[in-house]
Amino acid sequence: MTPAPLTERLTERVSDPRGPLFFPVTAYGADGSLDLDVYRTHVRRGVAAGAAAVFACCGTGEFHALLPEEFEVCVRAAVEAAQGRVPVVAGAGYGTALAVRYARLAEQAGADGLLAMPPYLVLAGQEGLLRHYREVAAATALPLIVYQRDNAVFSPRTVVELARTDGVIGLKDGLGDLDLMQRIISAVRSETPGDFLYFNGLPTAEQTQLAYRALGVTLYSSAVFCFAPEIALAHHRALAAGDGATVRRLLDGFYRPFVELRAQGRGYAVSLVKAGVRLRGLDVGGVRPPLHEPAEEHVKQLAQLIERGYALLEEDA
């Protein structure tokens, strides 16, 4: 059973409205091995730039490509780099036994919480999914956020049961079904006491955050924050302040073109982000297979788009 103070502390800290949630990329050296020094630098810069939390070794951080021992040292490095200034939440996934193992490694590494990604490959029913996440939640004292996407899609009733599960504190939505999300939020609000967190976890969540915000979902992950934190923060602050003009200018001039560029290649939600980090002067290396590097022309377009995004900020200055 998760101690209430730990759960309450993470819920309060992750809800900090000062900035978006930072999902750092995982840095590799020229030989493809982990580059922990560069990774720490990447995390430190994100925290200094104003991230509300660090989500280490999750989707953007290529969780799928990391060995268990690499995962543990990466999470530990993120914790060291964050220095307690913001919470560090680590990914956990695959089948139940492996997800439990990764959860325990994250706990040993000092993480403040877990993001539970979909179980590997299988199309499970609601009863099996509920059992899976309950076993992962029970494996450690760390609060757990469940990630809805791909083969892990939940009925409102299942989310109610998850919300009643010790240690489960929230749902991150990477599906984008707003009707389902409204029914989930309504069911949990009606049937469970206390706070339950919701996150917009779609790729380039800024593009859809106006719609999620209308549902009351104010927390979202920002891949753009990895390489252009000033742009991500400007959008985040404009949303919070109700500054529709700035939101529209950034959506029309930067985010929509970025989403269209991201759609030019499979896996670009990760590899194009890493290219953006490299363009801004931090060599985090490439991606591990089965992902592949963006086309040279797409990287050039990304460089132009980043320049345009920063020019939009100057217009507002």
Which residue in the list 28, 39, 133, 172 is annotated as catalytic? 172
Name the DSSP letter for residue 114. E
**Beta-bridge partners for 34:** 28
CB 114 within 8 A of CB 81: no
**Beta-bridge partners for 170:** 145, 197
CB 34 within 8 A of CB 73: yes
Residue 298's contacts (CB-CB under 8 Å, 6 or more residues apart) are 261, 264, 265, 268, 272, 275
**Distance between CA 171 and CA 173 in Å, rounded?**
6
Residue 300 is among the residues annotated as catalytic for this protein: no
Residue 310 is among the residues annotated as catalytic for this protein: no
Structure tokens at 34: 């982990």
Please tell me whether residue 22 adopts helix, strand or coil conformation. strand
Which residue in the list 28, 39, 147, 198 is annotated as catalytic? 147
Longest pairwise C-alpha distance within the chain: 53
Residue 29's contacts (CB-CB under 8 Å, 6 or more residues apart) are 35, 38, 285
E strands within the chain? 21-22, 53-56, 88-92, 113-116, 144-148, 168-173, 197-200, 219-222
Residues forming the active site:
147, 172
